[in-house]
Amino acid sequence: MTQLHIESIGHGPDLVLLHGWAMHSGIWGGVREQLAQQFRLHLVDLPGHGLSPACEPGTLEHMVEIVTEILPERCMVGGWSLGGQIAIELALREPARIEGLALISTTPCFAKREDWEWGMEHKLLLLFLENLKQDYAATIHRFLTLQMSGDRNAATILSQLRKHFFQRAEPDPGTLQKGLKLLQDNDLRARLEAVKQPVLLLHGESDVITHPAAANWMHQQLPQSQLVMFPHCGHAPFLSYPDQFITCLNEFRTLSR
C-alpha cells in the first residue's frame, strides 16, 4: 500500500481535505489555521503529489482505495476539483464513515460530451496532456493562470496559488498524465443519485475549469445539498473568499452530523 503524507491538526469533528490535480495539501495554507479551531483537520497529499509517493495503476478506483485506508472512523470530506470526484466516490464506498461532503469547484464530468455541454473540449485536454510532456513548467504555469481566470483579484490570488504550489516538490510526471486521463474519462453523473449524505457545493461564478452550471446541475440531483456561488470568483474560492469559505464549512458542520 502507498503511504500517503497526511498532516493532522486542530480539535473537533474530523474533516479530511483533498486537493486537486497537480496540487498538494499545502494549498489549504490560507484557511488551515482557522479551520483547525473548529475541526480536526486531515490534510492529505494524494498519490504522486506533494510528499506522497506515486502509485500504480493510478486509477480513480485505486486512489479511492488508498485514501479509504487513512479515513477517520467518522468524518466530513472536502474535495477540490479532482479531489471532489474522489470525495464522491469515497461517500459512495464508505457511507457509514462519511457524514457529509463539501464539493469545491467540482464537476461530475470534466470533459464535454454529447449530453453534457458544461465540460472542457476533449481536444483541449489532449493538447494539455501533450504540452505537459513537452514543457512541464510552462504547462503548469498556464494551468495556474487558467484557474484564476475571471477572478476579481486574479493577480493577487494567482501569486498565492503559485507560492503554495512551489512549496513542495514537483508532482510525479506520470501521475499528472494519468490524472489528466482521469479528467478526460471520468463521468460520475449516473452515480450521484446514490449519494445519501448532506452535500455542500461551493463554486466560483467565473470558474472556467469546472463550469458553474455543473454545480447547479449537481444541486438539482442531490436532495440533501446546499449550493453557495461566489461572485467574481475563479476555480479556488478558498483563496478568493477565505473567510466566507470557512464560515460555510462551519455552518455545514452542524447539519452533517
Task: Identify whether 235 is a catalytic site residue.
Answer: yes
CA distances in angstroms from 54 to 62, 176, 248, listed in the order given: 11, 10, 33
- Kindly name the residue from 81, 105, 240, 256 that is annotated as catalytic: 81
Task: Identify whether 81 is a catalytic site residue.
Answer: yes
Kindly state the cell numbers that stand for 101. Answer: 461532503
Task: Identify whether 256 is a catalytic site residue.
Answer: no
Q: Please say whether the beta carbons of 47 and 2 come within 8 A.
A: yes
- Kindly name the residue from 206, 207, 240, 256 that is annotated as catalytic: 207
DSSP alpha helix (H) spans, the chain: 32-35, 60-68, 82-93, 122-134, 136-147, 154-165, 173-185, 212-221, 237-240, 242-255
Active site residues: 81, 207, 235
